Amino acid sequence: MAQVDYWFSPISPFTYFAGDRLEKTGLTINYRPFNIPAVFAATGGVPVPQRSPQRQAYRLQEIERLAKKSGLPVNLKPAFFPVDASLACQWMLVARNAGADIGALARALLSAVWAEDKNIADADTLAAISEQLGMDATWLSAAADAAQLLTDETQAAIDAGVFGSPFYQVGEQLFWGQEKIDDLADYV
């Protein structure tokens, strides 16, 4: 079975709405969290607060439609968005590199932002998520010293052609957006 590089940010509502659909395809997944502000800066993307009022309004309509379609709860204007997801991404990278399957962790972080109004930049919030998932506490402790891991992963995303989240890659083929999961599965 083909391996999918799953490039994502734990603050993307569109990644949140992908839910566990990628896992249900049965494909082998290589989770690749990255720093989305750095990817935007390198690829011409604009952070949400800097977008035109028209784009911001459309984004909210799209989030609302996706919430209804997916059945996932969502807060259209989370208390902690945008939020610095660096520590959360570093934690996922440390856990992934230790051999953990970080799919459940990624979904927990996304839910924390988009459904639970939690601050994923806060170490105590992350510790509570770690405990809830029964994860090795040393992974979160090591995350504070893993900034270079995130820098490297973010550069790898940029080099791969990633410009948003979620992004799926099989070989040279790229698929952007949670609605592309079926196209990805068909391609493979």
Give the pairing of strands 167-170 and 28-33: unpaired
Give the pairing of strands 167-170 and 173-176: antiparallel
CA distances from 83 to 44, 112, 160, 173 (A): 20, 12, 25, 30
Active site residues per annotation:
12
Per-residue pLDDT, 2:
82
Give the mean pLDDT per block of 10 residues along the chain (188 residues). Answer: 92 96 94 98 94 96 96 95 97 96 96 98 97 95 96 98 98 96 94
Per-residue pLDDT, 101:
86
- Please list, in sequence order, all residues whose beta carbon lies within 8 angstroms of the beta carbon of residue 105, skipping any fewer than 6 positions away: 91, 92, 95, 129, 133, 135
Query: What CATH number does domain 3-187 carry, 3.40.50.300, 3.40.50.720, 3.20.20.60, 3.40.30.10?
Result: 3.40.30.10
Per-residue pLDDT, 1:
66
pTM, to two decimals:
0.95
Give the H/E segment covering residue 4. Answer: strand 3-8
**Three-point CA angle 125, 142, 23, nearest 5°:** 70
